[in-house]
Amino acid sequence: MAVVLESVATLAVLVFVVTSMLAMGLNLTVSQILGPLRDARRVATALLANFVVVPVIAFVILFVVPLSEPQSVGLVLLATAAGAPFLPVLVQTAKGDVAFGVGLMVLLMVVTVAYVPLVLPLLLPGVQVNPLDIAGSLVVLMLLPLAVGLAVRARYADVAATVQPKMAQTSNTALVLLVVLMLVLNFQNIVGVVGTGLIVALLLLVVLSLVVGYLLGGPTTATKSVVGLGTAQRNVSAALVVGAGNFADPDVVVTLLVGALLMLVVLLVASGEFGKRSVSRLATGEEETASLSPASTED
């Protein structure tokens, strides 16, 4: 029975990743992706935060918080994989720059495909990793479906509008099924990490990444929230593809799942707070404008 569930879980990973990328491509145009990325300085700081600062944070955490080798591998995987498909939802909740959020998500995802195969063997010298296998799986499962979706949207907009909701629903269903199956298959392992250093390490990674991204996010709050959330929300899909395909120890996947759950909780709360502050600032601005209007009328 366990073997069957493991096979279904593996299939759920594939379905979730492919359909989420397809749904994203069917809902976007190339101009929507590239337009917000013309600000070179803003893009450079986002790349710096995601691919330099966050991995450094992960290694500092590993130096401070002792973890097993599989847990360390999972933490490093999360630290190196960026560009989560869930980012636009968080940005909408935060009342941030949604266009920039979409563009940043795709940019980070593309860079991740090239970055992870090159950097992971250097960061994990004691672990045998095949860079070509990693790059191939990420390209086939993530970039290719995204490109197909963009092509269909560009040439057959009506078809894209019809198919996109179905792909999104399939992706959500596969994600729920995957989480349930992983919890069932790894329940004892997940319970075993409660109260250990892994929870502390993952929370530190999420919170510190959020703070760093926010501080490097530019002059406006709308972009700060995008870069902050984009830096903290690691690409669990890419990490799962690499982790499940290249590491036999189940604790690697357990670390990724626990990290995904913690990210979901922390970042939903953070995006909600960003959204409340944005609405509050907007309301204050409207009140100030309204209070000035009578005076200008009287003059």
The percentage of the chain sitting over the pLDDT mark of 90, rounded to a whole number, equals 24
Distance CA(106)–CA(87), nearest Å, equals 10
Whole-number CA gyration radius for the chain? 20
pLDDT at 34: 80
Distance CA(64)–CA(199), nearest Å, equals 13
pLDDT, greater one: 48 or 96: 48
pLDDT of 287 higher than 50: no
* Domain positions in the chain: 1-281
36-53 exposure pattern, b = at least 16 Cβ within 10 A, e = fewer: bbeeeebbebbbebbbeb
pLDDT at 51: 94
pLDDT of 174 higher than 70: yes
Task: Give the list of residues 6+ apart from residue 284 with CB closer than 8 angstroms, or none.
Answer: none
pLDDT of 56 higher than 80: yes
Distance CA(37)–CA(41), nearest Å, equals 9
Q: In 10 A of CB 126, how many CB atoms?
A: 7
Q: What is the mean pLDDT of residues 147-175?
A: 90
Distance CA(10)–CA(19), nearest Å, equals 14
Query: What's domain 1-281's architecture?
Result: Up-down Bundle (1.20)
Residue 295 pLDDT class (50, 70, 90 cuts): very low
CA separation, residue 87 to residues 94, 274, 290 (Å): 10, 14, 35
Nearest 10 degrees: Cα torsion 117, 201, 90, 166? 60
The percentage of the chain sitting over the pLDDT mark of 70, rounded to a whole number, equals 89
pLDDT at 63: 92
pLDDT at 291: 38
Q: Where are the alpha helices (DSSP H) in 124-156?
A: 131-138, 144-155
The pLDDT tens digits of the residues spanning 116-143 come to 888 888 887 766 566 677 677 777 877 8
Distance CA(87)–CA(200), nearest Å, equals 23
Task: Give the list of residues 6+ apart from residue 152 with CB closer than 8 angstroms, or none.
Answer: 25, 26, 159, 160, 163
Q: Are 256 and 182 in contact (CB under 8 A)?
A: no
pLDDT at 152: 94
Considering the chain, what is the average pLDDT of its residues?
82
Residue 49 pLDDT class (50, 70, 90 cuts): very high
The pLDDT tens digits of the residues spanning 205-261 come to 999 999 999 998 877 777 888 899 999 999 887 888 788 777 777 788 888 888 888
> In 3D, which of 111, 150, 144, 151 has the Cα closest to residue 235?
111
pLDDT at 128: 58
Distance CA(142)–CA(138), nearest Å, equals 5
pLDDT at 299: 42
Best mean pLDDT range from 55-59, 103-107, 129-133: 55-59
pLDDT at 292: 38
Q: Which two tokens stand for residue 209?
A: 């990444």
- Please tell me the total number of residues recorded for the chain in this structure: 299
pLDDT of 294 higher than 50: no
Q: In 10 A of CB 123, how many CB atoms?
A: 18
Q: Which two tokens stand for residue 64?
A: 């401070």
